[in-house]
């Protein structure tokens, strides 16, 4: 049917005629007239659209602009179906210049018209404008269908365009509504449109809807292409229906659809995702029989799938295979393999594959790279770490704050603070600000080495730079001060931390408790331990170990074993650090047999003991002179799977030296050699010291020569032991030669070394040279309480109490404080001279200074009381001695017996 009419120009007089006729119209004929008038008006519009005159002038006419309605435009658009470009111009002109609001029907007519003329781009643009109106999708679809049916458009591609627009705008369910309406009216979208819709549905995980649509269209004769088959396989894989997924591929192959490797990759990915990597490998192996080749996606997917099921070695083999084929592994695949190998502790394999694949320009992501560096650091493979770090920039990876923090922390833990500061400097040069982690590591490292001034400087620097200290920061500093015995500074930091609202944790309390234990302040340690529990902060194994060791060192093994029981009740696992102090504590209190019973019980309970535990027991036996028991314990130790180490041999060698058992000594040295162990400086020094003290300088020098020949260099203790023997033997020339050797070498003399010379001079009565040497020691800050005591003893021996007293007064001026031995030396001299009053005065001074008298000091005072007839006072001292926990010895009782006898003889006369 011809919907157009002949063109003729429209004049203003004609427009006026129609206006006049309209005004003369009566209501009776309104309906009929309106229909006729609409036809005339549409005819006028058609003439304007197809005419040569200006649209702007013609359509701005008052009558035209006031009369024009959407249904007029619809009719004009229908009349211009043969020229869809003209229809589009007219449509756009009204919208742009007349602000005309087009009807949905006008949009639908024009879209169908444009599509029919293969003008898809403007049709799509028009649809997008329509959809922006936010209309009910049902209304749009119904109008679209009505226009198509009513005006009998020849192409249904407008529906495809509508579906595609809905898909692009992520209105997938609206697109499905269009498809369903089309199907109900025997209209079918193109295969590519359906493929786009199905892919969109997969993206919003509407897998069942994908399968439903697929089945509906296959049932009406649709022939799917490779893309549709691929999206259906993906949906089935997501639903974990791998049987149907494989059947779908077989169906596609039977329908002679040329499937690509992409479809098989989808199935492989689905299987790998469901941890069925070996089935995926089988699919890959079948590809060559289908005339297909696995691509980089196939290999990378399989590598990741194998990593997911912990088959890292097979993953590495596949990666090697793909590299040989010229494929470059993805970052994800490489990262998966490297991280997997790292987690399985195969650090070297992970490192090797990073290096190998790095040659073709592939590196794992920064997260995995950092994790590998961290693992290598923990394994101590620092050369490999440095190589990885240096190559990062070449591979397009740049270290971040995490990389530097790992390197700084590792260096600090290994005591390589210079390396840590080097990395810290590089971090700042790279424009990366110091973080809490890097500062904490450096502070912890400085504290462990006792460099608290440097740690305090770093602490101040981090605050100045706006890095907020954490509980870890404060705990490191607190621990450092506690190790150095500066408890007041530790508690100052503790109160500063809590004042800032930073809650202390188990490690903080453990550090403070350890400080108290080191200072032998077990009452305070116990109170702090109770406070820890009251705060609901759970003590850990380290906390209990510290407390147990503290009580054992204080001789309170009863409380130590109570804490062990408490620890086990709370579900904490004792370890060798728990058992060693208990064994050592029992041995120190003379209960070595009980310590041996404890070791045997622990073995029967299958508790793992190490060399440290057994060396404590061996030391206990050797201390009591029970060398045979020590050797027997060694045999049991080896039978129980614990190897002898240098410390154990050192303890046994010390035991044999005390018993002067040369045969056993050389037997132990031979046994060490058979075990592949060489004596260290501690063992050589023990042997040299023992023979020097015994006056056998020939053997002492023999071991010295052997030590040097074995490449074991003497230290200050070794030199001092030999010098002490030479001084006692009066061989001062050789002693001075050794001293000179020390001064030019790396073993600088200390207080003990110079003390040997000082002791010799005082015993020889050469006090003038002794004082000169001591003054030189004072200038070199080498004098201490021991060296002062040697001088005081020398003066007292010569009866020069005045000079000795002057030295005592001058000690404190040089920052040296007298000890129990200092006062005991004076007390002995006063008691020996019968000056009990001066002795008592010094005794009280010693007590007032907080010094605890030892057995020898008590014995001297009791001797003074006895010889002056103050026997009652002597027994009072004995009672005070016992009350203070100082054990009397044979000398104590001999003194009291002697005093009693003297008093009896006086009374009898």
Count of CB atoms within 10 A of residue 671's CB?
14
Q: Is residue 369 within 8 Å of 397, Cβ to Cβ? A: yes
Q: CA 363, CA 366: separation in Å to the nearest integer?
A: 9
CA dist list (Å): 364 to 342, 356, 555, 808: 13, 12, 57, 71
- Give phi and psi for 854, each to the nearest 5: -100, 180
Instruction: Classify residue 291 as left (phi > 0), alpha (psi -120 to 50) or beta.
Output: left
Q: CA 65, CA 725: separation in Å to the nearest integer?
A: 127
Q: What is the pLDDT of residue 46?
A: 72
State the sign of the Cα–Cα–Cα–Cα dihedral 315, 318, 324, 328.
negative
Q: What is the pLDDT of residue 24?
A: 32
Q: What is the pLDDT of residue 909?
A: 52
Q: CA 905, CA 909: separation in Å to the nearest integer?
A: 6
CB within 8 A of 181, min separation 6: which ones?
141, 142, 145
Q: Is residue 59 within 8 Å of 48, Cβ to Cβ? A: yes
Report the run of H or E that residue 747 belongs to, with start and end.
none
CA dist list (Å): 627 to 365, 593, 623, 634: 61, 13, 9, 11
DSSP assigned state of 328: P
Q: CA 802, CA 786: separation in Å to the nearest integer?
A: 19
Q: What is the pLDDT of residue 8?
A: 39
Nearest CA-CA partner of 641 in 674, 607, 688: 607
Q: Is residue 869 within 8 Å of 898, Cβ to Cβ? A: no
Q: CA 438, CA 420: separation in Å to the nearest integer?
A: 9
Q: What is the pLDDT of residue 526?
A: 92
CA dist list (Å): 855 to 305, 706, 824, 877, 890: 76, 41, 10, 11, 10
CB within 8 A of 556, min separation 6: which ones?
522
Nearest CA-CA partner of 723 in 745, 704, 746: 704
Nearest CA-CA partner of 830 in 874, 852, 860: 860
pTM: 0.64
Three-class DSSP labels, 347-402: HHHHHHHHHHHHCCCCCCCHHHHHHHHHHHHHHCCHHHHHHHHHHCHHHCCCCCHH
Tokens of 694: 């015994």
User: DSSP assignment of 523-569, as one string?
Assistant: HHHHHHHHHHHHTTPPP-HHHHHHHHHHHHHTT-HHHHHHHHHHHHH
Chunked into runs of 10 residues, the chain (909 residues) has average pLDDT values of 37 40 37 61 74 72 75 77 80 75 83 83 82 78 81 81 83 84 81 86 87 83 83 88 87 82 88 88 85 86 86 83 80 78 76 71 72 80 80 78 90 89 90 91 91 92 92 94 91 93 93 92 92 89 94 91 93 92 90 92 89 92 90 91 90 90 88 89 92 90 91 91 92 90 86 91 90 88 89 90 89 88 91 88 90 90 88 90 86 85 64
CA dist list (Å): 734 to 540, 591, 716: 55, 44, 16
Q: CA 647, CA 535: separation in Å to the nearest integer?
A: 41
Q: What is the pLDDT of residue 615?
A: 92
């Amino acid at each position: 049917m011809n919907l157009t009419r002949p063109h003729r120009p429209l004049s203003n007089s004609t427009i006026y005629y129609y206006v006049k006729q309209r005004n003369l119209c009566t209501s009776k004929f309104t309906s009929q007239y309106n229909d006729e008038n609409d036809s005339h008006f549409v005819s006028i519009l058609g003439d304007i659209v197809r005419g040569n005159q200006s649209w702007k002038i013609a359509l701005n006419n008052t009558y035209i602009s006031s009369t024009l309605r959407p249904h007029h435009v619809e009719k004009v658009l229908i009349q211009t179906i043969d020229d869809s470009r003209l229809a589009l111009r007219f449509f756009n002109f009204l919208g742009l210049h007349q602000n005309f609001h087009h009807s949905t029907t006008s949009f639908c007519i024009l879209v169908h018209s444009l599509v029919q003329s293969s003008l898809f781009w403007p049709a799509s643009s028009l649809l997008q404008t329509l959809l922006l109106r936010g209309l009910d999708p049902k209304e749009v679809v119904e109008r679209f269908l009505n226009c198509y049916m009513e005006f009998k458009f020849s192409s249904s591609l407008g529906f495809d365009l509508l579906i595609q627009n809905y898909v692009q705008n992520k209105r997938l369910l609206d697109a499905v509504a269009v498809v369903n309406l089309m199907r109900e009216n025997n209209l079918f979208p193109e295969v590519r449109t359906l493929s786009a819709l199905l892919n969109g549905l997969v993206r919003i995980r509407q897998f069942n809807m994908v399968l439903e649509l697929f089945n509906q269209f296959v049932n009406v004769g649709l022939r799917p292409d490779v893309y549709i088959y691929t999206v259906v396989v993906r949906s089935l894989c997501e639903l974990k229906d791998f049987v149907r997924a494989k059947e779908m591929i077989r169906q596609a192959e039977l329908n002679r659809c040329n499937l690509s490797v992409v479809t098989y990759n989808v199935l492989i990915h689905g299987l790998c995702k469901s941890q069925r990597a070996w089935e995926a490998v089988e699919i890959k192996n079948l590809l060559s029989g289908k005339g297909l080749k696995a691509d980089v996606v196939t290999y990378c997917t399989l590598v990741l799938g194998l990593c997911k099921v912990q088959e890292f070695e097979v993953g590495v083999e596949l990666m090697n295979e793909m590299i040989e084929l010229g494929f470059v592994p993805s970052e994800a695949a490489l990262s998966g393999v490297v991280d997997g190998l790292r987690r399985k502790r195969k650090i070297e394999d992970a490192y090797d594959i990073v290096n190998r694949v790095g040659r073709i320009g592939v590196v794992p992501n920064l997260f995995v790279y950092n994790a590998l560096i961290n693992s290598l650091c923990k394994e101590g493979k620092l050369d490999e770490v440095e190589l990885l770090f240096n190559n990062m920039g070449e591979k397009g990876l740049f270290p971040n704050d995490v990389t530097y923090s790992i390197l700084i922390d590792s260096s600090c833990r290994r005591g390589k603070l210079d390396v840590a500061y080097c990395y810290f400097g590089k971090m700042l040069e790279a424009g990366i600000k110091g973080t809490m982690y890097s500062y904490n590591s450096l502070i912890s490292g400085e504290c462990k080495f006792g460099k608290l001034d440097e740690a305090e400087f770093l602490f101040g620097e981090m605050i100045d730079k706006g890095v907020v200290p954490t509980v870890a920061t404060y705990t490191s500093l607190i621990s450092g001060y506690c190790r150095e015995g500066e408890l007041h500074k530790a508690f100052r930091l503790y109160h500063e931390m809590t004042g800032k609202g930073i809650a202390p944790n188990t490690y903080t309390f453990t550090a403070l408790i350890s400080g108290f234990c080191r200072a032998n302040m077990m009452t305070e340690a116990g109170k702090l331990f109770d406070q820890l529990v009251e705060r609901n902060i759970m003590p850990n194994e380290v906390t209990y170990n510290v407390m147990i060791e503290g009580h054992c060192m204080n001789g309170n093994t009863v409380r130590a074993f109570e804490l062990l029981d408490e620890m086990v009740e709370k579900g904490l696992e004792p370890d060798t650090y728990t058992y060693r102090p208990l064994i050592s504590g029992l041995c120190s209190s003379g209960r070595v047999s009980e310590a041996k019973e404890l070791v045997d019980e622990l073995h029967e309970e299958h508790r793992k003991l190490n060399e440290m535990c057994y060396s404590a027991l061996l030391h206990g036996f050797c201390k009591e002179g029970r060398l045979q028991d020590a050797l027997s314990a060694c045999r049991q130790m080896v039978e129980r799977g614990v190897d002898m180490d240098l410390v154990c041999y050192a303890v046994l060698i010390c035991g044999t030296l005390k018993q002067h058992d040369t045969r056993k000594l050389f037997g132990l040295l031979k046994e060490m050699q058979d075990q592949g162990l060489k004596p260290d400086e501690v063992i050589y020094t023990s042997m040299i010291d023992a023979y020097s003290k015994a006056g056998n300088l020939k053997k002492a020098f023999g071991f010295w020569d052997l030590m040097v020949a074995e490449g074991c260099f003497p230290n200050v203790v070794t030199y001092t032991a030999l010098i002490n023997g030479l001084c006692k033997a009066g061989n001062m020339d050789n002693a001075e030669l050794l001293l000179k050797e020390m001064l030019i070498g790396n073993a600088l003399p200390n207080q003990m070394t110079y003390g040997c010379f000082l002791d010799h001079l005082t015993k020889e009565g050469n006090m003038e040279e002794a004082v000169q040497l001591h003054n030189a020691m004072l200038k070199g800050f080498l004098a201490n309480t021991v060296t002062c005591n040697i001088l005081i003893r020398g003066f007292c021996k010569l009866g020069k109490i005045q000079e000795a007293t002057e030295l005592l007064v001058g000690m404190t001026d040089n920052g040296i404080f007298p000890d129990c031995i200092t006062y005991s030396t004076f007390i002995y001299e006063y008691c020996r001279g019968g000056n009990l009053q001066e002795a008592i005065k010094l005794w009280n001074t010693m007590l007032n200074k907080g010094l605890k008298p030892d057995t020898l000091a008590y014995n001297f005072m009791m001797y003074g009381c006895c010889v002056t007839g103050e026997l009652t006072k002597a027994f009072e001292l004995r009672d005070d001695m016992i009350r203070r926990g100082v054990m009397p010895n044979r000398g104590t009782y001999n003194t009291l017996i002697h005093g009693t006898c003297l008093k009896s003889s006086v009374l009898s006369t």
